[in-house]
């Protein structure tokens, strides 16, 4: 049927296919379906043009559905905060993660298995795996994922105070805005700065802020000349919040059901495996309590992701901002759990000036001692 359509109609359909990054045949089939519906309904006028309009509307709806977000826009006006950033949970693009997961699955299991398990559809298009969006059912669940869709998010952590207040608090700043999330990948830690945030929670020792996109209160960070002593601010603010390393397991048990189970510890680096990163780029570090480090319970392992800067070595005294996590150890043959331990996933690390050694890798206590194979 399509070979009988005008050159103009053919060109327009091809343009739609190119824009949507879908096969031309799919767009042509949509056009023919609309044409048939119009003919059966005895519509009057230029049926070709009307069918083209309906085809265009169909794909416009797809774009609107896939690009629509349910981001809550609070009525509260953003407030000015002053302080310093110490780290973050890391930048994420959920749409890109879906694409990567699908491609990894295909590489490992093949196209047919990917279709059977709803990673791709019959036209090999990657499907939207998100069952919910911001807690609500995703209307596009298992529908083709728009190749241009971006679902970015970013959460930073710092020590900030509301403008006019004197008390600095542990602060999280979060955004699900694509532009802000990307902009926040270029921020600098441990430098006094000012920004705006919409206060979602404000307790005795912590705050939760959402990013603001309003033109006059945009949540970007600007260095300030205020007399803020970074070292003293961090040491004094975190001191009442510190969890002794010997109490890390108890902290996990207390807050294990909470998503926001943040923890701050101060310790001495006993080893750090900079030259043995994990497959995802993280490195491991051992930390002991400065006062009771020789006790068995006064040590903890810390996993440091790629986005957290390491500029210190063994023997350094550091403050770690992170979250607790339980690791299970399994038998390689039976896959049975043989043990568990509590670790800290670092979101930021402050190496205390004057108590820092140069950056270098060291050997863990778990590594076997190396034996010389040839003696001269």
How is 195-216 classified by DSSP, letter by letter? EEEEEEEE-SSEEEEE----GG
Question: Residue 274: which domain range?
Answer: 242-351
List, in sequence order, every residue forming a beta bridge with 319; answer none if it has no partner.
266, 350
Tokens linked to 104: 């990894």
Q: Are residues 79 and 106 in the same domain?
A: yes
Q: Are residues 53 and 75 in the same domain?
A: no
Which residues of the chain register pLDDT less than 70?
Answer: 1-4, 64-75, 293-297, 331, 361-376
Boundary-marking domain end, from 238, 267, 283: 238
Cβ atoms of 161 and 167 closer than 8 Å: yes
Q: Are residues 117 and 216 in the same domain?
A: yes
Indicate the number of domains in the chain.
Answer: 3
Q: Are residues 29 and 109 in the same domain?
A: no
Q: Are residues 162 and 111 in the same domain?
A: yes
Boundary-marking domain end, from 28, 52, 67: 67
Look at residues 16, 64, 13, 15 and name the one whose alpha carbon lies nearest to residue 35: 13
Domain assignment present for residue 333? The answer is: yes
Question: What's the pLDDT at 71?
Answer: 44
Q: Are residues 255 and 169 in the same domain?
A: no
Do strands 169-175 and 206-210 pair parallel, antiparallel, or not at all (unpaired)? parallel
**Cα–Cα distance, 120 to 128 (Å, whole number):** 9
Q: Are residues 328 and 272 in the same domain?
A: yes
Burial class of residue 266 (count of CB atoms within 10 Å of its CB; 0-12, 13-18, 19+): buried
Domain assignment present for residue 366? The answer is: no
**Cα–Cα distance, 267 to 244 (Å, whole number):** 9
Tokens linked to 261: 């189970």
Three-class DSSP category at 142: coil
Domain assignment present for residue 363? The answer is: no
Question: What's the pLDDT at 330?
Answer: 72
Find the helix or strand (DSSP H, E) in which 63 lies. Answer: helix 47-67
Q: How many of the other CB atoms lie within 10 Å of CB of 358?
A: 10
**Cα–Cα distance, 6 to 178 (Å, whole number):** 41
Domain assignment present for residue 356? The answer is: no
Question: What's the pLDDT at 293?
Answer: 59
pTM beyond 0.75: no
List, in sequence order, every residue forming a beta bridge with 84; answer none if it has no partner.
159
Q: What is the CATH number of the domain that holds 257?
A: 2.40.50.140
**Cα–Cα distance, 208 to 262 (Å, whole number):** 12
Do strands 337-351 and 299-304 pair parallel, antiparallel, or not at all (unpaired)? parallel
Tokens linked to 348: 């930021």
Crossing angle of the two packed helices 24-40 and 47-67, in degrees rounded to 10: 120
Phi, psi of 310 (to 5 degrees): -115, 115
Question: What's the pLDDT at 363?
Answer: 57
Boundary-marking domain end, from 34, 67, 100: 67
**Cα–Cα distance, 199 to 79 (Å, whole number):** 7
User: Given the structure tokens 């690390």, which residue do they identify?
Assistant: 349
Q: Are residues 151 and 250 in the same domain?
A: no
Q: CA 22, 26, 31 angle in degrees (round to 5)?
A: 120
Domain assignment present for residue 369? The answer is: no
Domain assignment present for residue 359? The answer is: no
Alpha helix (H) residue ranges in 110-169 = 111-116
Q: Are residues 184 and 308 in the same domain?
A: no
Three-class DSSP category at 39: helix
Q: Are residues 93 and 199 in the same domain?
A: yes
Q: Are residues 98 and 224 in the same domain?
A: yes
Domain assignment present for residue 372? The answer is: no
Q: Are residues 41 and 133 in the same domain?
A: no
Question: What's the pLDDT at 183?
Answer: 96
Domain assignment present for residue 82? The answer is: yes
Question: What's the pLDDT at 375?
Answer: 52
């Amino acid at each position: 049927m399509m070979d009988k359509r005008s050159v103009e109609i053919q060109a327009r359909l091809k343009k739609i296919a190119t824009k949507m990054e879908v096969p031309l045949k799919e767009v042509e089939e949509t056009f023919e379906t609309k044409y048939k519906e119009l003919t059966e309904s005895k519509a009057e006028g230029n049926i070709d043009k009307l069918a083209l309009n309906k085809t265009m509307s169909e794909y416009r709806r797809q774009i609107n559905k896939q690009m629509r977000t349910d981001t809550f826009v609070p009525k509260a006006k953003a407030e000015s905060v002053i302080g310093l950033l110490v780290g973050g949970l890391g930048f994420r693009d959920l749409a890109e993660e879906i694409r990567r997961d699908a491609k990894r699955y295909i590489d490992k299991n093949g196209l047919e298995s990917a279709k059977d398990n709803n990673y791709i559809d019959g036209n090999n298009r990657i499907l939207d795996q998100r069952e919910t969006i911001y807690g609500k059912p995703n209307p596009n669940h298992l529908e083709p994922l728009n190749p241009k869709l971006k679902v970015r998010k970013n959460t930073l952590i710092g020590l900030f105070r509301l403008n006019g207040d004197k008390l600095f608090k542990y602060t999280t700043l979060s955004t699900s805005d694509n532009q802000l999330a990307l902009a926040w990948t270029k921020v600098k830690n441990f430098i006094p700065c000012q920004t705006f945030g919409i206060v979602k929670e404000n307790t005795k020792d912590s705050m939760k802020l959402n990013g603001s996109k309003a033109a006059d209160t945009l949540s970007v960070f600007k260095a300030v000349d205020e007399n803020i002593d970074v070292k003293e601010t961090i040491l004094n603010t975190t001191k009442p919040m510190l969890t002794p390393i010997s109490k890390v397991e108890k902290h996990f048990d207390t807050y294990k059901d909470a998503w926001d189970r943040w923890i701050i510890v101060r310790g001495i680096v006993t080893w750090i495996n900079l030259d043995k990163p994990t497959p995802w780029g993280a490195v491991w570090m051992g930390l002991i309590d400065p006062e009771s480090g020789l006790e068995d319970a006064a040590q903890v392992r810390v996993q440091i992701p790629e986005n957290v800067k390491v500029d210190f070595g063994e023997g350094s005294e550091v403050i770690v901002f992170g979250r607790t996590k339980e690791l299970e150890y399994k038998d390689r043959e039976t896959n049975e759990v043989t043990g568990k331990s509590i670790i800290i996933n670092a979101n930021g690390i402050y190496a205390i000036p004057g108590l820092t050694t140069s950056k270098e890798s060291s050997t863990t206590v778990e590594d076997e001692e190396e034996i010389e194979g040839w003696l001269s």
